[in-house]
Every structure is written in C-alpha cells, then in structure tokens.
Chains A and B, each alone.
Chain A
Amino acid sequence: MTDLAPAAERAPAPLATRFAVPGRIAVDAPQAGEWQPATLSAIRRETDRATTFRLAVPGWPGHLPGQHLMLRLTAEDGYTAQRHYSIASAPDDSGHIELTLDHVEGGEVSGWFHTEARPGDRVEVRGPVSGFFAWPGDRPALLIGAGSGVVPLMSMVRHHRARGLDVPLRLLVSARTPEELIYAGEYGPETTPVFTRRAPAGTAVGRLSAAHLAPVLAERPAGGWEAYVCGSNAFAEHASRLLVAAGQPVDRIRVERFG
C-alpha cells in the first residue's frame, strides 16, 4: 500500500502495477464455483436477535476462516433472492458450515431464516468467495468485531482452537449488553469483551478505546499483528482509526464492513 505522500514525493512507478494489500490466499475460478444444494441440519439461538444455522453441504470445497459465501433462496415460481454471509464455522467441519444471522427487520432472506426455516429445509450456497479477509492461521491475528461482525472472526478463533495453533490470536468483541454478546459461552482467555450500554458487575461500560488496544499492541508478536476489523461501517471506521492512531501499519489492517 502506498502512503499519502504528495505526488511529487512518490517515485515514478514502473509499469508493473502492484499497489494493493495482497489477498491472503490466491483464489482461482473453481472456488467460487457453482450453486450447490445445502440442507439445514440444526438451528441454535445465540441471542434475541442472532441465530446460528447449520447447513450440510456435501459438495462444499472447504474455506479459510474469514471467507464468506453467497446464499440463494428460490420461491415456487422461480423467484430468487441472494445475499452474502460470512461463514462462522471453522474449516474442519466436514461437509458442514454454519452461518450466524441477525434478524434484519423486513429482511427478505434473513426474515425467512428467522421466521420460517426448520431443519430439513433446502437452500443453495455458492463459495467460498474472497481471499482478502481470510486468515490461514499463519500470522499473529488481532481480531476486532462488533455485533454480528464477530461472525467471521469467530471462524478464526474456532480454527485457532481446533488446530491448537501456537500463533498469537486476540479478539476484542463489542456488544451493547452481555445478553447481546454472540457466542458468549465460547470465549476463552484470548477474548476481551467490550460492552457499550450495560456490562456485568466489575466491567466498565464504554466504547472500544485506545485503552483496550494498548495492551494487545504492546505484546508485539514476532512478525507483527495482522488486524482484522469487522462490523458496521461506523464501527469499522472507529476501530480502524484507533488502530492507525496506535501505530498499527495501515497495510496490516483488513476491514470487512456490513452494509
């Protein structure tokens, strides 16, 4: 990534144009692949708003933590609706993937999941897509999420745990209240929850701040942190500014914004 130096200070670039933060993995055509049937096998309530849907996908080609997929519903008359969703489960879940969806008011696809869906129902998925927000489990990972933005980060936490990886991994997860914290029962010492409206006794209430980041950044793992930020645009802006202000290199920050 180039910095914001005035144009005059920038060396004339050669014709090879390689400016961007590289993707974590090469993604070739077959990975996006074809639409595949998926069967809902289990439904697990996480919070009042968020529910996890477990899908059996016999032809799933596998994914890396942090990747997402496209999901399509088809009505009797052939009408279809499709959306992108992050994958919540770790890769080593043979033939199954899990999605955790917020119930969006009036949501055409999430509305079906939250009001109609039951085990045995069939949908279609395509993916995984995008290698940019992927984490193969190699570099130290500093994960920062809010609300359902924790979903792709949880795939990384689960992968880290399932493989017993030694590489450092930390998760800062923001929720409004303890009741709204998704996967609350699954976090371990790698996780610091941040509560913005109401917190358990003994925990401060407040927005993610430089004070939350400082101790993690001070760990300075070998090779440096690769930061993954996921949440609403407002949260992503806030968290990425905090990281930059605290000295995290801008080309080591990967951002996924929920529209």
Chain B
Amino acid sequence: MNVTRGFTGRSRARHPGLPPGQYDAGDDWPVLSAEVTPDLAPEEWTFRVDGLVAEERTWTWAEARALPGSVYEGDIHCVTSWSKFGVRFSGVSLDVFLDAVRPDPAATHAVAYAHTGYTTSLPLADLRGGRAWIAFDADGAPLPPEHGGPARLLVPHLYFWKSAKWIAGLRLLDHDEPGFWEQNGYHARGNPWQEQRYSGD
C-alpha cells in the first residue's frame, strides 16, 4: 500500500451504492461528451433498430412517445469517477423496442449509435430484462441537449459512456464491435462494480 503522507480523505461513511473508486458528485451532474452538442429537435429525432433482427424498424418521436412509459429511479456512474444518486429518468424500456423487431437468436452484441456519430458497444444481454431504456426526461424535465436530449440511451448498471446521448439507433450483431470509447482504450463492458474502466481491467 502506497500511503500518501497527510492525506486523510473524506468521511469513511461510504454510501453502499457507491462502486469502488467512485465519489458522490452530490447535486452536480457533470457534462462529459467529446463532441459538439447537436441542435436536434424532437421532430427530427428518430430511433432505429436494425442488424440481426426479424424486422428492422424506425420510430419517430411521436411513435416512441406513444409507447408504454417506464421509469428508472436510481444511480448513475461515470468512468471519470463521479456517481450521482437518485436520478429519476422516464422513457420507454428498451425491451419494448427489441420485442418489436424480434432479435435473431444469433445476435449477441449491439452497437448503439447517436445522431452525432458517437457509438458505443454493449452485450445484448445488458440491454434486455428491464435494465435499459430510451430516456426522454430526467427529474421531471425534458433531457437538456447537453445531457443527450431529446433522447438518450440509459443503461445505468454500466458506466455512463454506454448510455449514448442523442441516441439514433441500435445495430444488433453476432460479435462485439468496439464503439468510440472502446476503440479509445475503454473497457468492452464497463461494469462499475468490477471497476471495468479501461481495456484489460
């Protein structure tokens, strides 16, 4: 153990919801994106699911908003070490979209892509079972553009770079195809509880 002289740190009363190596950002919700925030109106937004599916589909804003709603209320974790507790997102469960396109049994992974060109790769299993959403609102208000509005992917059990802002679609694949940060040295899965930050973790 390499002790740093004079460092005591904050209170040891650790929030049980805080994964290893993370700190509580409190009321802050830092913005981290490597691109220019797009000027994307809800009427221009679409969400498509294609690749290894029985029936490719594209939803417009109105069509997506008409689907049965679902809420995630819980924590989010950024790979840059901040976590934010008790955020309430509302949107539509990704299961609703995936059930509609009927994934091919050979599909094992997905690339989520944004209207900006951002991509991130995920195991399909992480997008199933009520653990992923297309989110339209956060804490009762429309998602601000800098946080991915009008709609973002939400996969809160993984580091937040997986929750692609300005989500445009999912492509289902039979292999893992690294996305933007995954090609830039970040972990393929990104489970915060196993501290899977960088490839090799």
Contacts and interface: CB of A to CB of B under 8 A. Distances in A.
Nearest to A15: B51
B2 A29 contact: no
A84 B79 CA distance: 10
Interface residues of B, number: 60
Interface string A89-114: 00000000000000000001000100
Interface stretch (B33-41, B66-74, B87-95, B98-106): B33-41
A255 B33 contact: yes
Interface in B24-48: 25, 28, 30-40, 44, 46, 48
| B interface SS class | loop
* Size range of the chain A interface in the assembly: 35 or more
Interface stretch (B115-123, B125-133, B134-142): B115-123
A259 B82 CA distance: 9
A209 interface: no
A237 interface: yes
Contact of A83 (B34, B81, B119): B81
A129 B185 contact: yes
B177 A122 contact: no
A248 to B, nearest CB: 9
A240 B37 contact: yes
A250 B35 CA distance: 8
Interface of A: 1-2, 4, 6-7, 13, 15-23, 26-32, 37, 70, 73-84, 108, 112, 116-117, 121-124, 129-133, 233, 237, 240-241, 243-244, 250-251, 253-257, 259
23 contacts: A1-B116, A1-B117, A2-B168, A4-B115, A6-B44, A19-B118, A19-B119, A21-B34, A27-B184, A75-B8, A75-B9, A112-B6, A116-B5, A121-B4, A129-B198, A130-B184, A132-B34, A233-B146, A241-B36, A250-B36, A256-B34, A257-B31, A259-B80
